[in-house]
Structure 1
Amino acid sequence: MRILVTGGAGYVGSTLVPALLEQGHRVRVLDNLRFGGHGLLPCCQNRFFELQKGDACDPKDVEKAIDGVDAIIHLAAIVGYPACKKEPQLAQAINVGSTRLLLEKRSKDQKVLFASTGSIYGSIPDYVCNENTPRAPITLYGETKAQAEQLVLDSGNGIAYRFATAFGVSNRMRLDLMPNDFTYQAVKNRNLIVYEGGFKRTFVHVRDMARSFIFALERWDEVKDDVYNVGHESMNFTKEDVARKIMEHVDYYLHFAEVGSDADQRNYEVSYEKIRAKGFETTIDLDRGIAELVQAAKLIEWSNPFSNV
């Protein structure tokens, strides 16, 4: 299959693209390389890999990128609450605008797989969210993803995946994700302060995210024209749970702060029965993911030139 991956040099894309190539697919990546392209360097060894440096919001770049492909996996986005708050206009343009542009330019026989987020559920602590739970985003990130996924569903021949909070080691590493950040602080600083430790959310490993896209491509007729939560109930944890799991791998000082708050107020639990009924199960639990993150943290060097500690 010929597949376009927008944002393919990012955290999820740099895990997904090698997996698609290993399956024998021809993969084209459209990415502006805002965060560099080092995560895709190993893909250059594969003759079925193609990089198009460009902008998912530019009509000419999009027309060129979608030419001749069978499926479009749309990952290009400003991801997360802090990044969207920092650049709200860009977040709206990419998260919503690029999705609308792709749908306008693609032919109806080109499959569209959209990366949405569980953040659209907002803060609903009293019951378990499923795909029929009303969208109630409390951040610009959640709002833009909710708008974009509706565009995909209205357009037809597409699916939207509402992913749990991503974590794990990727070729294009991110340390702003909560389990990744907590683990890095524990390894490097040997201490961690946790605000609102009882807040709960659900997690999914980046490799399982990649697997979910391959699963959909292989069972398209069974899953198309619908939305799915992607994760597993066994991966619903509080922030305290995550911090204490890290203590099983790293000796560090953990402090739960009674004063102060996390700006990201998401607090919810999610059901993944719908995609499980289709045959998809996640494979990497929190313990294994954190063990890998501990090893990765030892490889990541970052120093503050103004610190003498």
Structure 2
Amino acid sequence: MSYNILVTGGAGYLGSTMVPDLLADGHKVTVLDNFTFGQASLNHVCNQPNFSVVNGDVRIEEHIAPLIKKADVIIPLAALVGAPLCSRDPVGAKTINHDAIMMMMNLVSKEQKILMPTTNSAYGSGDKNNFCTEDSPLRPISNYAIEKVAVEKELMQHPNAISFRLATVFGMSPRMRVDLLVNDFTYRAVKDGAVVLFESHFKRNYIHVRDVSKAFRHGLANHDKMKGQIYNVGLSDANISKKELCETIQKQLPNFTFVEAALGKDPDQRNYIVSNDKIEATGFKTDNSLDSGVRELIKGYTMLRNTRYGNI
């Protein structure tokens, strides 16, 4: 079935990968983005008649309301993503990550479908074994995670919504982000040859950006049985510590050195192991391993410079 899909923030890290996939699936896609980072990451789909783009702001009702009215499906990707960026611009973070979503929820009908990325960073540190399922208590640490928890609570009041609690995303995208952990550590391995680790035993889960796109398309194709639910989305074999991540990178870059600092504290205190059993039970499978993602990042970093491709 073909849908009219509105993707806010569709020229960002996730959207620049997802939008071409949605077009390839036969959907009509409208992107609303303010192009804050000066990106031209959707140039390659401008020739497609089913693609439309609007330069606008999700916080302005006059920009978003007419687009919502025409959509069958809304995928709200527009956000200031990550704790450091949200801390640097708390007003922007609140108005984009929270207020704009609340406005969207007031504008959508009960018949429209919403597929939204939230975050598994909401778990904070999990239970006494650091293990988390979708039913685990939420203990968000950063303002970013706190806002996402509030938004998800509102989102789940909508009868046709799906929330995808994403693991830490990695991999090459037309609108690259170097500041994400796997991307960052691999960049440091390629460019600097070394990294210093604070609290290297802290664990988290990871997911490739193309598998995020696949999860959303899976949710759209299986919407009737998945709607009204929350799903963790990550690699089940990639619940690993920062030290283990460095060891994974080192397998491909043997000269990479990492040092575990005896003193110091990581400002990001997340530490958890996440179960992805629920979404896998719907038939979803990932295609991209951590090893293959590191391999593609190493290739990509021969072309990129960090100062242009981070959110901070």
TM-score range, shorter chain: over 0.9
1:1-309 matches, within 5 Å, as 1-124=3-126, 126-250=129-253, 251-301=255-305
Residue type at the aligned position of 1:183: T
2:52 partner SS? strand
C-alpha contact (below 8 Å) 1:129/1:271 kept by paired residues = yes
Report the Cα distance in structure 2 between the residues aligned to 1:235 and 1:46, rounded to whole angstroms.
36
Report the Cα distance in structure 1 between the residues aligned to 2:30 and 2:302, rounded to whole angstroms.
32
1:302 positional shift = 5.2
CA deviation profile, 1:61-119 (whole Å, cap 9, x unmatched): 11122131110001111111101111112111111111111111112211011110001
TM normalised by structure 1 equals 0.95
C-alpha contact (below 8 Å) 2:7/2:29 kept by paired residues = yes
CA deviation profile, 1:278-304 (whole Å, cap 9, x unmatched): 111112111000000100111113589
CA deviation profile, 1:109-168 (whole Å, cap 9, x unmatched): 110111100011012362410011111101101100000111110122111110011111
C-alpha contact (below 8 Å) 1:193/1:257 kept by paired residues = yes
Residue type at the aligned position of 1:58: I
TM normalised by structure 2 equals 0.95
Q: Which residue of 2 aligns with 1:307?
A: none
Which stretch shifts more, 37-46 or 22-31?
37-46
Report the Cα distance in structure 2 between the residues aligned to 1:245 and 1:301, rounded to whole angstroms.
23
2:157 partner SS? helix
C-alpha contact (below 8 Å) 1:208/1:282 kept by paired residues = yes
Report the Cα distance in structure 1 between the residues aligned to 2:166 and 2:299, rounded to whole angstroms.
25
C-alpha contact (below 8 Å) 2:171/2:296 kept by paired residues = yes
Residue ranges of structure 2 left out of the alignment (5+ in a row)? none
Report the Cα distance in structure 1 between the residues aligned to 2:48 and 2:14, rounded to whole angstroms.
19
C-alpha contact (below 8 Å) 1:163/1:229 kept by paired residues = yes
Shift of the 38–303 alpha-carbon distance from structure 1 to 2, 3 Å rule, reads: closer
RMSD: 1.3
C-alpha contact (below 8 Å) 2:130/2:271 kept by paired residues = no
Report the Cα distance in structure 1 between the residues aligned to 2:52 and 2:136, rounded to whole angstroms.
39
Which stretch shifts more, 142-151 or 100-109?
100-109
Report the Cα distance in structure 2 between the residues aligned to 1:147 and 1:289, rounded to whole angstroms.
32
Report the Cα distance in structure 2 between the residues aligned to 1:44 and 1:288, rounded to whole angstroms.
29
1:200 positional shift = 0.2
Shift of the 214–303 alpha-carbon distance from structure 1 to 2, 3 Å rule, reads: closer
Report the Cα distance in structure 1 between the residues aligned to 2:307 and 2:281, rounded to whole angstroms.
47
C-alpha contact (below 8 Å) 2:235/2:289 kept by paired residues = no
Residue ranges of structure 1 left out of the alignment (5+ in a row)? 305-309
Report the Cα distance in structure 1 between the residues aligned to 2:230 and 2:121, rounded to whole angstroms.
14
C-alpha contact (below 8 Å) 2:178/2:306 kept by paired residues = no
Residue type at the aligned position of 1:283: D
